[in-house]
């Protein structure tokens, strides 16, 4: 084991999921929206640009990083995009925005980068088509590029097979423009940022059953609003795992989003015996937030991540696997097939990279089983598949392994956390405000 440890106290940048929603949901109101703490992620810039194409003005305030002013003409004032809606690498942008434009009286054409073009879009587009939208694919059925021909939609009931917050959100945005009511039921709990933001903005909805949400056509005109975006727990997760694995670490992640559909990383690390304190719990703009202190507490124990809880840590499983590789016992991930459909096939990527650094890992159809060991050798090449979360995982692995690894590329990190490397270097040196 190296001497490296993580120290300090700082806030990672704003939450990506909430930032996308703040920009997209601005279209539901007529007036000015002020967003503070907007994520600097390239994905959110893709959303901002797409929203501009629909007639919103989205302006960064140069005096405060993350402060944005959005001016929206309201749903009825949105205009047909003159250009392609380019979602870049962002699944949230393309899927959630499809739901918004499905109810608008014009055609919107979407595309994305090579990775996004491979990701499944039918899970949302087929359902929007059932509500009345016409969808046509340019090349491959079910994949970008595609066009959505918006229309007067009809409300419907949906029982989703996958607990996808993106699909749920797209259907609710369509439902707010549809005749009749729209009911969306998820198979298990997922992030509920959409509902919390609806509450914050004054969008009416009901929850008729467990994991079920119902909306009616939005008849009232909503005014502008102000929203503060918490720090992104998915970004903080890299540091949490690093601190839990590196002896001597004592790190506090400030203002961290604590949405119950996102906190699997904390639950799993606690189950493994990590010393994690949730401090100063409070609510900001209808979202729970807290400061998370992680202190190294000796070698972690094994645990199992079950299928029913995957949705609340779907983006954190790559970094959690590093804690698993170092645990005393067995670390199992089950029911995580969904990870194959993210920015890369994250199950294959994790298991290949982990065997490269000397971990004992057995891939399964929908997860993997790790037999933990006291240290990790490293010295290998870490493949990222241009996936930002794999690249950031690689940088934490590099701080943990005996021998440095060669990370294929780190450019992709800008997709979610452009200053990750600088922030990691600061806490590795312990030079941020000491806790
Ligand atoms: C997101 C939901 C998750 C997550 C993605 C962001 C969201 O996707 O992986 O990074 O903002 O709703 P799914 O809802 O498709 O699981």
Q: How much is the pLDDT for 430? A: 61
* Ligand 1 center–CA 303 separation, angstroms: 24
Question: Which domains does the chain show, CATH number per domain?
Answer: 5-14+230-429 (3.65.10.10), 93-107+114-219 (3.65.10.10)
272-299 pLDDT, tens digit per residue, is: 999 999 999 999 999 999 999 999 999 9
Residues of the chain falling short of pLDDT 50: 1-2, 431, 433-435
Cis (ω within 30 of 0) for the bond into 145? yes
* Ligand 1 center–CA 165 separation, angstroms: 6
Q: How much is the pLDDT for 433? A: 45
What whole-number percentage of the chain has pLDDT above 70?
A: 98
* Ligand 1 center–CA 20 separation, angstroms: 11
* Ligand 1 center–CA 262 separation, angstroms: 10
Out of 315, 328, 366, 387, pick the active-site residue. 315
State which of 92, 163, 186, 390 you would mutate to test the pocket of ligand 1, scoring each by most atoms of that ligand within 8 A of its C-beta: 92
Name the residue among 242, 236, 293 with its Cα closest to residue 399.
242
Residue the block writes with tokens 């539901």: 28
19-43 pLDDT, tens digit per residue, is: 999 999 999 999 999 999 999 999 9
Name the residue among 404, 421, 356, 412 with its Cα closest to residue 42.
412
165 Cβ closer than 6 Å to some ligand 1 atom: yes
Q: Which two tokens stand for residue 195?
A: 């509902």
Q: How much is the pLDDT for 429? A: 75
Whether residue 315 lies in the annotated active site: yes
Q: Which two tokens stand for residue 398?
A: 């590099």
State which of 41, 42, 90, 91 you would mutate to test the pocket of ligand 1, scoring each by most atoms of that ligand within 8 A of its C-beta: 91
Cα–Cα distance measured from residue 363 to residue 168, given in angstroms and rounded to the nearest whole number: 30
173-230 pLDDT, tens digit per residue, is: 999 999 999 999 999 999 999 999 999 999 999 999 999 999 999 999 899 999 999 9
17 Cβ closer than 6 Å to some ligand 1 atom: yes
In 3-state terms, what secondary structure has residue 291?
strand
Cα–Cα distance measured from residue 407 to residue 51, given in angstroms and rounded to the nearest whole number: 34
Residue the block writes with tokens 């992620």: 41
If one counts every other C-beta atom within 10 angstroms of the C-beta of residue 273, the result is 17
């Amino acid at each position: 084991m190296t001497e490296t440890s993580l120290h300090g106290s700082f806030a990672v940048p704003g939450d990506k999921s909430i930032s996308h929603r703040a920009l997209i949901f601005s279209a539901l109101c007529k007036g000015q929206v002020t967003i503070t703490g907007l994520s600097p992620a390239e994905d959110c810039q893709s959303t901002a640009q797409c929203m501009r194409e629909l007639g919103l003005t989205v302006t960064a305030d140069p005096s405060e990083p993350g402060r944005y002013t959005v001016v929206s003409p309201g749903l009825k004032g949105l205009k047909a995009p003159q250009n392609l809606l380019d979602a870049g690498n962002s699944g949230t942008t393309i899927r959630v925005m499809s739901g918004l434009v499905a109810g608008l009286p014009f055609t919107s054409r979407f595309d994305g980068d090579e990775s996004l073009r491979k990701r499944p879009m039918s899970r949302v587009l087929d359902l929007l088509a059932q509500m009345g939208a016409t969808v046509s694919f340019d090349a491959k059925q079910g994949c970008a590029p595609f066009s959505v021909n918006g229309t007067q939609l009809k409300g419907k009931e949906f029982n989703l097979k996958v607990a996808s917050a993106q699909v749920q959100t797209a259907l609710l945005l369509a439902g707010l423009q549809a005749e009749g009511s729209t009911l969306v039921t998820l198979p298990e709990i997922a992030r509920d940022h959409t509902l919390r933001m609806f509450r914050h903005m004054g969008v009416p909805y009901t929850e008729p059953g467990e994991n079920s949400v119902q909306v009616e056509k939005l008849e009232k005109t909503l005014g502008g609003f102000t929203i503060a975006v918490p720090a992104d727990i998915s970004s903080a997760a890299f540091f949490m795992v690093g601190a839990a694995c590196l002896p001597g670490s004592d790190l506090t992640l400030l203002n961290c989003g604590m949405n119950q559909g996102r906190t699997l990383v904390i639950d799993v690390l606690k189950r493994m015996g990590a010393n994690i304190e949730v401090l100063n719990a409070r609510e900001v703009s209808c979202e729970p937030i807290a400061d998370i202190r992680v202190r190294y507490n000796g070698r972690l124990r094994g645990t199992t991540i079950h299928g029913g809880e995957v949705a609340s840590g779907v983006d954190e499983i790559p970094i959690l696997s590093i804690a698993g590789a170092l645990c005393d016992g067995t670390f199992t991930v089950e029911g995580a097939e969904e990870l194959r459909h993210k920015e890369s096939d994250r199950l294959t990527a994790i298991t290949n990279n982990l065997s490269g650094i000397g971990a004992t890992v057995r891939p399964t159809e929908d997860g993997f089983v790790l037999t933990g060991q006291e240290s990790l050798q490293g010295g290998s090449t870490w493949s990222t598949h241009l996936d930002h979360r794999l690249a950031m995982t690689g940088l934490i692995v590099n701080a943990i392994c005996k021998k440095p690894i060669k990370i294929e590329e780190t450019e992709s990190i800008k997709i979610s956390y452009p200053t990750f490397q600088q922030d990691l270097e600061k806490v590795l040196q312990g030079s941020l405000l000491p806790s």
